[in-house]
Structure 1
Amino acid sequence: MTHLLHRAAWRLLGGLLVLLAAASLTFAALHLTPGDPVTAILGGASANPTPEAIAAARHEYGLDRPLAVQYGLYIARIARGDLGQSFSQHMPVIAVLRAQAPPTLALMASSLVVAWLLALLSVVPTARRGTVGAIASTLETIGAGLPQFWLGILLLWGLAFEWRLLPPAGNHGVPALVLPTLSLAIPLAGFIAQVMRESFDLALDQPFILTARARGLGDGAVRLRHALRHALLPCISLSTWAVGALVGNAVAIEIIFSRQGLGRELFLSVATHDMPLVSGIVLFIALTYILAGLAADTLIALVDPRLKGTRP
C-alpha cells in the first residue's frame, strides 16, 4: 500500500505539471487564434458594439493589459480555483462545467464499459481457435478502422430513422445513450481487442499455462483464471489513452446526436472565442485524463501484484 501511495504521489505531481502545461498551451492557442473575444462578451458579431463599449469591455476583463500580465493573472486565478466567467454565456465557467460534464462523463463511461465487454467477448472465446479466431480478428481490425462520426451517422440513419428502434437525439434516459455509446465503443473495442488478442496469445505460450493444464484445469478455466489476467495489463494502460480519445471524439458525436456535453460546448466556445470557457473545459479534460491514469496504475498493481513493490 505504501508503494501504491508513493506512485500515486508522483503521478499527482506529474498531473499538476500537465495541468499547468494544458493551461499555458490553451492560453497561447487562444491568443493566436483569429478573432476578438470582446465580440463574444458584447453579444456576438450581430451586436455591432460601439468603440467605447469595446474599450470598456477590454478594460473590464483585463484584455488591454500586456500579454505577460494577462498570463500571470490567468494562472493565479486558476490556482485559486477560479475559472472565470464565460464570455458567451455570461455565467461562471464552473456552473457551465457542472451542467455539461455529467452527460459527457456518462457517455465516456458507457462507451468504455461497452468497448471492454465487446473486446472480451471477441477475444477470450476465439483466441487460438483457428478460423473462428481469424474471423474475429478481421472484424476487430475493421471495427478499429471505422471513423466514429461516420459510424454515428450510419447508426442514426439505420436504427433511428429507418427502423425507429432508438431515439435519434437528446439526453433523456438510457435509450438516448445507446447510439452515441455504440458509435464511440465499437472502434475503441477494435483497438482494445487487437492489443488483448496479442497479449492473450503470448500468455497462452507461457509455462504457467502448461502447468495449469497439467493440473487438470479445462480450457475455459485456463483462459479466464490465468491467461486473461496477464492479457489485461496492456489493455488497462490503453484505456488511459482511450479516455482522452473519447473526449476528443465526443465533440462530433454530441453534435451528430444533438446531445448536451463538454464536446459540443467546446466546439461552440472555440467558435465564439470564449477564452475562459475553453480553458475551463480543457483543464477539466486534462484533469479527467490524469485521474484515469492514476486509476489505471492502481488497477495494474492490483491485477499484477508483482508491480506493488516497484518504484515509479
Structure 2
Amino acid sequence: MARFILQRLVLLLPSLLVPLFLVFILLHLAPGDPAAVMLGADASPDQVAALRERLGLNEPFLIQLVSWLKQMATFNLGESIFLRMPVTQAILQRVEPTLILTLYALVIAVSIGMVSGVISAVNRGGPADQVAMGIAMLGVSMPEFWFGLMLILLFAVELRLFPVAGYIPLDRGLWQCLWSLTLPALSVGLVQAAFIARITRSSMLDVLGEDFIRTARAKGLAGRVVIVRHALKNALMPILTAIGITFAVLMGGAIAIEMVFNIPGVGRLLINAVSRRDYPVIQGIVLFMALTFVVVNLIVDVLYSLIDPRVSR
C-alpha cells in the first residue's frame, strides 16, 4: 500500500505544480504596475519604486521564478502586503468556514445524488426516473450564485428560517455553525448532487445488466440486497471519481458563494487579494487549493484499491 501511495503522489505532482506555475506567470503578465496598484493613485514615484524593490519586481523574470520556487519548496509563503501578517496565518484564520462549507455541501451532494441516481436506475424509464433526471438536468444548468440568491430570497427574506448572510464560528456550537451555512451549502451542494445523480444512474445501469446480477436475482435474494450489496458495490468506482471531482468543484464554488453570503473564508480572502494584487496571498491560496486537490485525489485512489485490490497491483 505504501508503494502504491508513493506512486500516486508522483503522478499527482503535476496537479500541484502546474496551477502554481500558471498563476505565477499570469500574475506577472497582467497589465499594469502591481506596486502602483497596491499603493494607490496617491503614491509617489519614489514610493512605487521602493515597493518594487522590496517585492523583487525589478529582478528579471527567471530570477523571480527561481526565488519563488525556493520559497514554495520550504513552504515559506511570505507575508501579506496588505494584512501585514504571514500568508500561512492569514489562510489558517479563514480556512475553517471554507472547509466546513465544502464538507457540508459534499455530504448534501453525495447523499442526495447517490440516492436519486440509484432510484432512477432501478426505475429506468419510469416516472421516478424521468422526474429525477429532469431535476438533475435543471440542477446541472443552474448557476450556483443565482441559486444561492433565490434561496436567500425564499428561505431568509420571505420565510425567515435561515440567516441572510454571515457565519457562526464552530467554537460557538456545531449546530449553530451548520445552521448558518445551510443555505450556502445547499446552493452548491444541490447543484453538484445533480452531477453525481447522473453518474450514479449511468454506472448502476451498466452493472444492473451484468450476468451476476441476474444470477443473484435468480437465487431469490431480496431486491434491496441485490441493489446495495451487489450492484452499488460494483458501481462505486465511477461514483468515487465523480465525488472527487465534486469536492474540487465545491472548493472552487465556495469562492463565489462566500461572496454572496458574506462568509469570511478563503474565497473572500482570494477575491480581496486579487483586487489588491497581493501576490503572496494569491499564490498561497492557490498552493492550499492545489494541495487539497492532491490529498482528495489520493484518498480516492486509496479507496479504489480497497474496493478493488487489483488497482494497487
Provide the TM-score with structure 1 as the length reference. 0.92
1:262-301 correspondence runs (5 A): 262-301=266-305
Q: Does 1:156 align with 2:152?
A: yes
**Structure 2 counterpart of 1:254, from 251, 255, 258:** 258
Distance 1:245 1:146 in 2: 14
For residue 40 of structure 1, report the CA deviation from its aligned partner. 5.6
Match for 1:239: what amino acid?
A: I
Report the Cα offset of residue 41 of structure 1.
4.8
Aligned residues: CA RMSD: 1.6
| 1:279 positional shift | 0.4
CA shift at 1:183, angstroms? 0.5
Instruction: Confirm or deny: 8 A CA contact 1:63 1:70 kept in the other structure.
Output: yes
Alpha carbons of structure 1 residues 24 and 123: separation in structure 2 relative to 1, 3 Å: closer
CA-to-aligned-CA distance 1:11-30 (integer Å, 9 cap, x gap)? 21233333222222111100
Establish whether residue 73 from structure 1 lines up as the match of residue 77 from structure 2.
no
Deviation, structure 1 residue 152: 0.4
2:174 matched residue in structure 1: none
1:35 aligned counterpart, secondary structure: coil
Paired position in structure 2 for 1:140? 136
Asked if the contact 2:116/2:132 (under 8 Å) is kept, the reply is yes
Tell which deviates more after alignment, 64-73 or 180-189. Answer: 64-73
Percent identity of paired positions between Structure 1 and Structure 2: 37
Letter in 2 for 1:120: M
For structure 1, the 5+ residue unaligned runs are none
Q: 2:239 aligns with which of 224, 235, 243?
A: 235
Q: Deviations over 1:75-125 (max 9, x none)?
A: 111111101111221211101111112211111111111101001221223
Return 49-58 or 186-195, whichever deviates more: 49-58
- CA positional deviation for 1:31: 0.8
CA contact (8 A) 1:144 1:186 kept: no
Say which of 146, 158, 162 aligns to 1:166. Answer: 162
Find 1:34's aligned residue among 31, 34, 42. Answer: 31
* Contact persistence 1:262–1:281 (CA under 8 A): yes
For 2:19, the equivalent position in structure 1 comes to 22
User: Given residue 54 of structure 1, which amino acid in structure 2 is its aligned partner?
Assistant: V
Structure 1 residue 304, shift from structure 2 partner: 2.5
**Structure 1 residue 36 displacement after superposition:** 2.9
Match of 1:245 in 2: 249
- 8 Å Cα contact 1:15-1:287 kept in structure 2: no
In structure 1, the partner of 2:172 is none
Q: Give the TM-score normalised by the residue count of structure 2.
A: 0.92
* Post-superposition offset of 1:276: 0.7
Deviations 1:280-310 (A, max 9, x none): 001111111111110111112222334242x
Matched, 1:304 2:312: no
Task: Give the aligned partner of residue 122 of structure 2.
Answer: 128
Mapped partners of 1:224, 1:237: distance in 2: 19
Contact 2:16 2:290 in 1 (8 A): yes
Once the two structures are superposed, the pairs formed by residues 58-97 of structure 1 within 5 Å of their partners are 58-97=52-91
2:264 & 2:270 partners in 1: Cα distance? Answer: 11
Q: Which moved more, 1:234-243 or 1:289-298?
A: 234-243
Residue 166 of structure 1: CA displacement? 0.5
Shift of 1:243: 2.3
Contact map agreement 2:188 2:253 (CA 8 A) in 1: yes
CA distance in 1, matches of 2:230, 2:114: 14
Count of aligned residue pairs for this structure pair: 303
The answer as to whether partners of 2:117 and 2:199 remain within 8 angstroms in 1 is no
Equivalent residue for 1:196, pick from 187, 196, 200: 200
Distance 1:87 1:40 in 2: 12
Letter in 2 for 1:147: P
* Alpha-carbon separation, structure 2, partners of 1:20 and 1:247: 18
User: 2:38 touches 2:277 (CA, 8 Å); kept in 1?
Assistant: no
